[in-house]
A and B are shown apart, each in its own frame.
Chain A
Amino acid sequence: GNSVTQMEGPVTLSEEAFLTINCTYTATGYPSLFWYVQYPGEGLQLLLKATKADDKGSNKGFEATYRKETTSFHLEKGSVQVSDSAVYFCALPERGGTSYGKLTFGQGTILTVHP
Chain B
Amino acid sequence: DVKVTQSSRYLVKRTGEKVFLECVQDMDHENMFWYRQDPGLGLRLIYFSYDVKMKEKGDIPEGYSVSREKKERFSLILESASTNQTSMYLCASSRGKNYGYTFGSGTRLTVV
Distance in Å: Cβ of A93 to nearest Cβ of chain B: 5
Q: Which of A25-63 contact B (CB under 8 A)?
A: 31-32, 34, 36, 41-46, 49, 51
Count of residues in B whose CB is under 8 Å from the partner chain: 27
> Chain A residues near B105 (CB, 8 Å)?
42-43
CB–CB A101/B43 < 8 A: no
Query: Which size class do A's interface residues fall under?
Result: 20 to 34
Identify B106's interface contact among A43, A99, A106, A108, CB under 8 A: A43
Residue A22 lies at the interface, judged by CB distance under 8 Å to chain B: no
Distance in Å: Cβ of B54 to nearest Cβ of chain A: 9
Distance in Å: Cβ of A50 to nearest Cβ of chain B: 11
- For B30-67 the 0/1 string (1 means CB < 8 A from A) is 11010000000011010010100000100000000000
Q: Which of A49-88 contact B (CB under 8 A)?
A: 49, 51
